[in-house]
Chain A
């Protein structure tokens, strides 16, 4: 009984007590007890990231090192994007695919040296990804899971760069998008990467668990006078949706390929042979049958589409009228209205196409839109 009780226990990040103290509402997220919102609430948190700066504890994400003198061969096999040949200091977004072309996970590879990559993976996929790495790297490299030793804090928003740069003594302003460096922020040694999941500029800071509270408190102290807030998983989701960044488990899974998900830019097929490349090449040649589209609920409709709602065509009289499914959806907290993502047949995927979404028994019109719902100013 003791053993099973312990295994049921939810995992906590090193910042759990800090979240409690801030009055966060904690929920179960993939076995982790994580803040879904703080007392400010999701709308204020969302706005703080768009207009000032927000701090996110994303320590539940997995961190894995791949090391060895043949590591590039292993990485070349695993990744859809050009990761192996990236320059040292570069961070690369990539998919990990099955031989079928379905997605195992989406993640960022950080090239530490020619013999070492750091991979940051989705929390809910950490176990699966580790197994995948161990199985598929065929002893070409060492797979070292440091997830339980590392904390990860994202600092995002228009005021994030200057704020963190100041705490790092001016060492970070020169770091360009999708690069990273070893640095010291507020006395804490960490890896700073100019990456994020909000549609804003910012950093993600990876440090040892032991230093996480010190770093978090220094960041919070610097952010508060700027109008910054700690941000829960609720606003993290509404922010990434406006920026049209896919969420694994919703918009990506092993049944859909990156090409269908509109992530062709992260699939480099030319002259390459990686797990899933044959299937993706064949799919590209044959053309896509379905695509992930962005949609906006038509103005004046009092409805919000949520994940799992069917996309229907009532003109279909024989068989099921369901032609697709909403994979992400909610209010456009900053852009207004109600927005979402969903898979539809490719002939319904063009911008301007009207879709019908069955919102709990009510047929609601929506229109396919291209591009991000939110683009940050100057981009």
Chain B
């Protein structure tokens, strides 16, 4: 079930970005969530208002057996952090492209998006990785 939504852009580190208006939502892909297995903790030691640069570490995702970093797919200002993940980290597994989102960024350089993968390219990329 690797249906990667076509309205998103993707990084090599398996984050996705929904470039919608001035609040770009960020999460990890279902491919990444599946690789991690059951997620038990999402730790984003950042605050709303923090400025981040593309590639910065945003936090960590801990599954039962693995730990993985989340990186900022684009530069900008953090405008929201998904607090629901504190109580329900398993949303990352059940709805990676939906309620399992991580943060929202107000982008400072919209051109960064162009370097990210389209759904087609990302789907091929993960097929090669498997």
Chains A and B bind each other = yes
- List chain B positions with a Cβ less than 8 A from chain A: 37-38, 40-41, 43, 60, 62, 64-65, 67, 93
Evaluate whether A302 and B37 lie within 8 angstroms (CB atoms) in the complex, with A331-B64, A360-B67 already known. no
Does the CB pair A37–B37 fall under 8 Å?
A: yes
Query: Total A-B residue pairs with C-beta atoms closer than 8 Å?
Result: 38
Does the CB pair A234–B37 fall under 8 Å?
A: yes
Evaluate whether A304 and B67 lie within 8 angstroms (CB atoms) in the complex, with A331-B62, A360-B60 already known. yes
Does the CB pair B64–A43 fall under 8 Å?
A: yes
Task: Report the separation of the CA atoms of residues A331 and B38 in the bound assembly, to the nearest whole angstrom.
Answer: 11
Evaluate whether A42 and B60 lie within 8 angstroms (CB atoms) in the complex, with A303-B43, A304-B41 already known. no
Give the size of the chain A interface in residues (CB under 8 angstroms).
18
Within 8 A of B (CB), among A220-237: 234-235, 237
A interface majority secondary structure: mixed
Task: Report the separation of the CA atoms of residues A37 and B60 in the bound assembly, to the nearest whole angstrom.
Answer: 22
Q: Which residues of B contact A306 (CB under 8 A)?
A: 67
Task: Report the separation of the CA atoms of residues A17 and B41 in the bound assembly, to the nearest whole angstrom.
Answer: 33
Q: State whether the Cβ of A238 lies closer than 8 Å to any Cβ in chain B.
A: yes
Q: State whether the Cβ of A269 lies closer than 8 Å to any Cβ in chain B.
A: no
Q: State whether the Cβ of A41 lies closer than 8 Å to any Cβ in chain B.
A: yes
Task: Name 10 extra pairs, CB < 8 A, besides A41-B38, A46-B64, A234-B65.
Answer: A37-B37, A41-B37, A43-B40, A234-B37, A237-B65, A238-B64, A304-B62, A330-B64, A333-B40, A360-B60
Q: Which residues of B contact A331 (CB under 8 A)?
A: 40-41, 62, 64
Task: Report the separation of the CA atoms of residues A237 and B64 in the bound assembly, to the nearest whole angstrom.
Answer: 10
Q: Which residues of A contact B62 (CB under 8 A)?
A: 304, 331
* In the complex, per-residue mask of A9-42: 1 if CB is within 8 Å of any chain B CB, else 0: 0000000000000000000000000001100011
- B93 closest partner in A (C-beta): A41
* In the complex, per-residue mask of A328-340: 1 if CB is within 8 Å of any chain B CB, else 0: 0011010000000
Q: Which residues of B contact A234 (CB under 8 A)?
A: 37, 64-65
Q: Which of B37, B38, B62, B93 has the most CB of A within 10 A?
A: B38
Task: Report the separation of the CA atoms of residues A333 and B64 in the bound assembly, to the nearest whole angstrom.
Answer: 8
Evaluate whether A42 and B41 lie within 8 angstroms (CB atoms) in the complex, with A237-B65, A304-B62, A304-B67 already known. no
B62: min CB distance to chain A, Å: 5
